[in-house]
Copies of this chain bind each other. A is one copy, B any other.
Amino acid sequence: MQTYLSLPDALARHTDAVERELRSIVPDDGSPLYTALRYHMGWCDQSGKAVNGTAGKRFRPVLCLMTCASVGGEPDSAMPAAVALELVHNFSLIHDDIQDRDTERHHMPTVWVVWGESQALSTGNAMYALASGSLLKLAEQVVSPDRIAQASASLTRSSLEMMEGQYLDLEFEKRTEVNTDDYLDMIARKTGALIACTMEMGVLIGAGDTATASVFALAGRHLGHLFQVRDDILGVWGEEAATGKPTGSDIRRKKKTYLVVQAMQKATGAAAITLKRIYAKQDPSDQDIRQVMDVMESTRARQEAEALAVRLADRALESIQPAELSARSMRDFEELVSFLLNRDH
């Protein structure tokens, strides 16, 4: 088995190529629909004028390419799948922003704020259809029809799981009680499924066998879990300069993250009353947010989240064992896990 291309190497090597391929998939015909898509991707302003905006991390496509390389595949052959994953991810962001009433992303007004809800809905849909279109370009690579069919099935299944997760997430916002198991099941679908698919497709296209693909899919599921728990922590204590979101933003939006779920389960007495009061409010104040952060510390919800992240990292490392990676590849995989565990944005 070949070397598992490390994340910094992979980012340095592939980000530009991923960006070029993404740009080639989204039509640039000046129509309002595609202008909205290109705006969301950070390539133009609201009028369609090219800008150097802040793009996303492109974490999923790079992870797909490096996974492909790790099983001896040619990373370029996985490019259509890598790009499809990023488009599915961005489809979900455009719709999530409508559903969560989020008004900013990467310091820019979200698509629904600029073009209205209805048009943002269609814009998101078009992003999803473009993802399917990108995946079909695998046929232009030296990828067998069977592998393409497996990759398509994987992307379809994980997209559906992601939607199920999003449905649950919204349902949780209306409930007062959500237990930890419910929460973990929800993020396994909402975030875990697509990252599992990212690694599974990388292996399938890299010409690994389906058994190895399943091993990577499971490891990816744990990585996705880890990714989300870290996101939850950053959503409260992340520095605005790094995350682009103000400290405590998840509390302001009253998102039912792992931290809130934990704090609500553990809080007693005055702390419990404080939490209930603030989460019943329409608009929590800055002081409310500081109070919730204090409760998250005093109930050890923060420590619990950090401990969970460590457990998920361990699970990812354990679950990759059957793939029998080389020592070098294993070190690179460990580095990836460590990055996800410690990232600050």
Contact = CB atoms under 8 A, between A and B. Distances in A.
B145 A118 contact: no
Interface stretch (A6-14, A45-53, A161-169, A268-276): A161-169
A170 B118 contact: yes
Given A146-B145, A163-B125, A132 B119 contact: no
A136 B152 contact: yes
Given A126-B164, A164-B33, A133 B156 contact: yes
Contacts of A277: none
Interface of A: 31-33, 95, 98-99, 117-119, 121-123, 125-126, 128-130, 132-133, 136, 139, 145-146, 148-149, 152-153, 156-157, 159-160, 163-164, 166-167, 170-171
A149 B170 CA distance: 35
Give the oligomeric copy count: 2
A151 to B, nearest CB: 11
B98 A118 contact: yes
Contact of A170 (B122, B152, B160, B171): B122
A170 B112 CA distance: 14
Contacts of A118: 98-99, 170
B132 A149 contact: no
The 10 closest A-B pairs by CB, nearest first: A145-B145, A99-B118, A129-B160, A132-B156, A33-B167, A122-B167, A126-B163, A125-B163, A129-B159, A133-B156
Given A145-B149, A170-B118, A170-B119, A95 B125 contact: yes
A99 B130 CA distance: 21
A167 B132 CA distance: 19
Nearest to A165: B122
Contact of A133 (B32, B99, B121, B160): B160
B171 A129 contact: no
A126 B95 contact: no
15 contacts: A31-B164, A33-B167, A95-B121, A95-B122, A95-B125, A99-B118, A119-B167, A121-B121, A123-B167, A126-B160, A126-B163, A128-B128, A133-B157, A145-B145, A148-B149
Given A126-B160, A126-B164, A136-B152, 15 more contacts: A32-B167, A99-B122, A119-B170, A119-B171, A122-B166, A125-B163, A129-B163, A130-B160, A132-B156, A132-B159, A133-B153, A139-B149, A145-B148, A145-B149, A148-B149
A125 B121 CA distance: 10
Contacts of A128: 125, 128
A153 B31 CA distance: 22
A128 to B, nearest CB: 7
A117 B171 CA distance: 12
